Amino acid sequence: MMLKVPKDEFIDLTIKFLVVDANGRYVFAEHIASQCKYSVKKDLDESWLFETAYDGCYVQMEGNQASLQVVLLATAADGRIEITENVPVKCIITTDVEPHPTDYPMNRFTMGDPLYC
C-alpha cells in the first residue's frame, strides 16, 4: 500500500505521517516504522512516499480489501501546524500480477480525496 504526496501540495512545509491505531489514537509512523513494516521517504521527484505491507500494523483487512487510516500533518518552519488531512488508504488485493503502485496515476494524493491502490 502506498500514499504519494507530491511536493507541490505542501510547499515549504514539513510533512509527518501518522496512523490511527486500534484504539483510535494517532501514532507517528516514523516512530514505529521498523516494527510495523512502514517506510517513509522522498521519491526521486522529491515527493513524499508512505508505504506499508498489507500485514503492517493497523492495516484492516475486510475480504479482499486492505485499508489504513493515515493522517498527514504539515508544519511550518516555526513548528506551527498548517494542515492536517485524514487520508483513508485502501487497496484491493488481487491474485493477478500488477505493476508497481507508482505506475498508477491514481496513487497521487489530492487534498480531500481518499487514495486507492
Three-state SS for 36-82 is: HCEEEEECCCCCEEEEECCCCCCCEEECCEEEEEEEEEEECCCCCEE
Q: Each residue of 58-110: pLDDT tens digit?
A: 999 998 888 999 999 999 999 999 988 999 898 887 765 454 554 444 444 44
Q: For the whole model, what pTM was predicted?
A: 0.76
Alpha-carbon span 77 to 95, nearest angstrom: 44
Distance CA 78, CA 49 (A): 23
pLDDT digits over 37-61, tens only? 999 998 888 888 899 988 899 999 9
